[in-house]
C-alpha cells in the first residue's frame, strides 16, 4: 500500500525529510556539518550563487515546500542577495516548521552548526511521530531522465521506462519527461500526441527553441559514432531518448517549478528562454533531477547505459540499467536490470512491470539502491525563463 505524509496544500509526501538549505555557497559547509549526524533524515540542498536569480528563487521555494519535505532550516551567510525572508515566508505559509540561521549573526561556524543541529534534531523527533496515510497511485508525480547513455539505452531502458510511464499515466499519475535537446527530429511525432492542436504547436516550438539554443552552444546532432552503433537517422537517435515518454497522450508542457495541474503526461521545457546567458541548460544529470523535484516529482526514473551511480536529496531515484554488462559490474547501484532484454529471455513488458512495481515500492517506504547507499546529490545553477504560454496546460 502506498503511504504518504499529508501536507497543507493537499499533496502527500513519500518521505518526511528535513531540508537544510544553504542560500549561497559560502554557507554550504555549515549546512553540510549540520546534517552530518543525521544524514538519513536531513538532506542538504541549496543555491551557490551570490547574485539574485528569479529562477533560483522559485526553485528553492518549490523544493523547500516539496511534498517529501517535512521541515526546513535555511542557512544564510548574511550578505548574499538571496531573498531569504521571502523563502522563509513561503515555507511558513506551507505549514512546515522553518527557521533561518544567519552565520554572520550567530557567532560564526561552530555556534551556527550547533544551533542548526539542535533545530534539525527537534524536527526529526517531531516528524518521527507523524503517521503516514494511505496514498493512491494517482497522487504520484514521477519524472524520468537518462544519463550516461550508450547504444543500449534506446532499445532497452528507455522503451521499458516508457511502458512503465504508460501504466502510471493510465493509473492517473502525473508523469514528466524532458531533454528537449534530444527530441530534435521527432517533434512531429510528439506533436501528433498532443491533447490539442495549440499544444502541438507549442511542443514543436519547445524543440525548435532547444535546437536554436544548442546551435548557439555549438553542440552537434548526429555523428559518425552514432551510425557505428546502428543508428541510421537523426529521428531514430532522438526516438531512442523520446521512448522514455511512452505512448500516452501528452497533456501539457511545464517549465521547471511548474506543478502538473492533474494526472497525465507532461513535457518539461528545460531550455532557458531568451538569449543564451548562463551556459549549458543542465550541467549534469542531477540538475535535471532537481528540476523534476521542483515540479513536484516524488521520485525519478533514471535510465543509464554506462552506469551512473547518483541518487538525489529529497526524492528517491530509481536506477534502470540499460546495459547488461554494466549491470553485472554495478549491480549494487542499480534497481532494475533492463539490459536483460538483450539476453533474449525477457521482454520489455516484463521489465516495465518491474519498474512499475519498483515505483510503488518506493512510494510505500522502501528505499532505492542510491538511497540505501546514502546518495543525496543536488545541484542548482542560474537560468532564465518566461512564463508558460496559454496553450501549454490542459483547460
Partner 1 sequence: MATDGRLLRLAPADNVLIVRQALQPGDIVEVEGVTITVPVRLGLGHKLAAAPIAAGDKVVKYGAPIGRATEDIPVGAHVHIHNVVSDYTPTYALPGEEQEL
User: What element of type H or E holds 181?
Assistant: none
Binding mask 147-176 for partner 1 (x = CB under 8 A): ----xx-xx---x-----------------
| Listed residue (143, 141, 150) closest to 179, CA to CA | 143
Residue 275 binding partner 1, by CB under 8 A? no
User: Is residue 235 at the binding interface for partner 1, with CB under 8 A as the rule?
Assistant: yes
**Only segment of 56-64, 111-119, 236-244, 249-257 that touches partner 1 (CB under 8 A):** 236-244
Among 234, 276, 360, 388, interactor with partner 1 by CB under 8 A: 234
CB of 124 to partner 1, least distance (A): 44
Is 350 a binding residue for partner 1 by CB under 8 A? The answer is no
Give yes or no for residue 386 binding partner 1 (CB under 8 A): no
Positive or negative, the CA dihedral 180, 292, 86, 37 is negative
Choices 16-24, 75-83, 218-226, 377-385 (CB under 8 A): range interacting with partner 1: 218-226
How far is Cα 120 from Cα 73, in angstroms, rounded to an integer? 7
Q: Which stretch binds partner 1 (CB under 8 A): 7-15, 114-122, 129-137, 230-238?
A: 230-238
Residue reference for cell 521527432 = 186
| Closer Cβ to partner 1, 154 or 316, answer by number | 154
Residue whose CB is less far from partner 1, 110 or 212 = 212
Pairing state between β 98-102 and 141-146 = unpaired
Residues facing residue 250 across a β-bridge:
194, 265
Look up cell 555556534; give the residue: 111
Smallest distance from the beta carbon of 220 to partner 1, in angstroms? Answer: 4
Based on CB atoms, which residue is closest to partner 1, 215 or 366? 215
CB 59 within 8 A of CB 257: yes
- How many other CB atoms sit within 10 Å of the CB of residue 205? 16
Residue from 81, 109, 233, 331 that binds partner 1 (CB under 8 A)? 233
Residues ≥6 apart with Cβ < 8 Å to 135 = 2, 3, 4, 12, 14, 363
Q: Quick one: three-class SS letters along 42-55?
A: EEEEECCCCCCCHH
Task: Determine the interface stretch with partner 1 among 42-50, 52-60, 211-219, 251-259 (rule: CB under 8 A).
Answer: 211-219
Of 190 and 317, the one with the shorter C-beta distance to partner 1 is 190
Residue 390 makes contact with partner 1 by CB under 8 A: no
For residue 336, which of 350, 324, 352, 320 has the smallest C-alpha distance?
320
* Cβ at position 72, least distance to partner 1 in Å: 40
- Determine if 357 is a binding residue for partner 1 (CB under 8 A): no
Interactions with partner 1, residue window 26-85 (CB under 8 A):
none
C-beta closer to partner 1: residue 212 or 277: 212
Task: Tell me whether residue 325 or residue 367 sits nearer to partner 1 (CB atom).
Answer: 325
CB-wise, 224 or 395, nearer to partner 1? 224
Min dist. Cβ of residue 170 to partner 1 (A): 18
**232: contact with partner 1 by CB under 8 A:** yes
Stretch that binds partner 1, among 17-25, 53-61, 242-250, 363-371 (CB under 8 A): 242-250
Q: Which of residues 183-202 bind partner 1 (CB under 8 A)?
A: 185-186, 189
CB of 212 to partner 1, least distance (A): 7
Q: In a 10 Å sphere around its CB, with 0-12 CB exposed, 13-18 middle and 19+ buried, how is residue 235 labelled?
A: middle
Q: What CA–CA distance (Å, rounded) separates 336 from 196?
A: 35
Question: Nearer to partner 1 by C-beta: 111 or 249?
Answer: 249
Q: Which long-range contacts (CB under 8 A, 24 or more apart) does 83-91 make?
A: 83/52, 83/57, 84/23, 86/57, 86/61, 87/21, 87/23, 87/57, 87/60, 87/61, 90/61, 90/64, 90/65, 91/61, 91/64, 91/65
Distance CA 173, CA 35 (A): 32
The closest of 353, 319, 310 to 337, measured between CA atoms, is 319
- Give residues 93-132 in contact with partner 1 (rule: CB under 8 A): none
Contacts of residue 69, Cβ cutoff 8 Å, sequence gap at least 6: 13, 17, 18, 19, 63, 96, 314
Cell numbers given for 347? 521482454
How do 264-268 and 133-135 pair as beta strands?
Answer: unpaired
Binding of partner 1 by 332 (CB under 8 A): no
* Contact set with partner 1 (CB under 8 A): 151-152, 154-155, 159, 185-186, 189, 208, 211-212, 215, 218-236, 239-240, 242-243, 247, 341-345, 348
Amino acid at each position: 500500500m502506498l503511504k504518504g505524509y499529508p501536507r497543507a496544500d493537499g499533496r502527500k509526501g513519500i518521505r518526511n525529510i528535513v531540508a537544510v538549505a544553504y542560500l549561497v555557497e559560502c554557507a554550504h559547509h555549515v549546512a553540510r556539518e549540520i546534517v552530518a549526524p543525521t544524514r538519513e533524515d536531513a538532506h542538504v540542498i541549496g543555491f551557490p550563487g551570490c547574485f539574485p536569480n528569479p529562477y533560483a528563487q522559485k526553485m528553492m521555494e518549490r523544493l523547500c515546500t516539496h511534498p517529501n519535505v517535512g521541515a526546513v532550516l535555511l542557512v544564510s551567510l548574511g550578505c548574499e542577495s538571496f531573498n531569504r525572508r521571502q523563502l522563509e515566508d513561503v515555507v511558513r505559509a506551507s505549514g512546515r516548521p522553518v527557521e533561518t540561521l544567519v552565520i554572520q549573526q550567530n557567532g560564526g561556524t561552530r555556534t551556527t552548526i550547533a544551533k542548526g543541529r539542535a533545530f534539525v534534531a527537534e524536527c526529526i523527533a517531531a516528524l518521527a511521530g507523524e503517521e503516514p496515510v494511505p496514498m493512491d497511485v494517482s497522487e504520484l508525480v514521477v519524472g524520468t531522465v537518462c544519463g550516461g547513455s550508450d547504444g543500449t539505452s534506446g532499445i532497452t531502458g528507455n522503451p521499458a521506462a516508457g511502458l512503465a510511464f504508460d501504466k502510471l499515466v493510465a493509473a492517473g499519475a502525473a508523469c514528466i519527461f524532458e531533454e528537449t535537446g534530444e527530441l530534435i527530429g521527432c517533434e512531429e511525432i510528439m506533436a501528433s500526441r498532443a491533447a490539442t492542436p495549440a499544444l502541438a504547436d507549442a511542443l514543436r516550438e519547445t524543440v525548435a527553441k532547444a535546437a536554436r539554443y544548442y546551435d548557439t552552444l555549438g553542440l552537434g546532432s548526429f555523428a559518425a559514432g552514432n551510425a557505428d552503433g546502428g543508428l541510421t537517422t537523426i529521428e531514430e537517435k532522438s526516438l531512442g531518448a523520446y521512448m522514455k515518454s511512452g505512448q500516452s497522450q501528452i497533456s501539457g508542457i511545464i517549465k521547471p517549478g511548474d506543478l502538473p495541474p492533474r494526472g497525465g503526461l507532461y513535457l518539461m521545457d528545460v531550455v532557458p528562454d531568451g538569449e543564451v546567458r548562463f551556459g549549458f541548460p543542465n550541467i549534469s544529470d542531477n540538475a535535471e533531477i532537481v528540476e523534476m523535484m521542483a515540479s513536484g516529482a516524488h521520485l525519478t526514473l533514471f535510465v543509464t547505459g554506462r552506469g551512473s551511480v547518483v541518487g538525489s536529496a529529497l526524492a528517491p531515484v530509481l536506477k534502470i540499467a540499460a546495459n547488461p554488462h554494466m549491470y553485472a559490474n554495478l549491480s549494487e547501484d542499480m534497481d532494475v536490470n533492463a539490459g536483460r532484454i538483450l539476453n533474449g529471455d525477457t521482454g520489455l513488458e516484463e521489465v516495465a512491470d518491474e519498474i512499475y512495481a519498483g515505483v510503488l515500492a518506493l512510494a510505500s517506504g522502501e528505499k532505492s539502491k542510491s538511497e540505501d547507499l546514502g546518495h543525496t546529490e543536488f545541484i542548482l545553477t542560474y537560468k532564465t525563463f518566461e512564463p508558460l504560454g496559454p496553450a501549454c496546460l490542459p483547460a
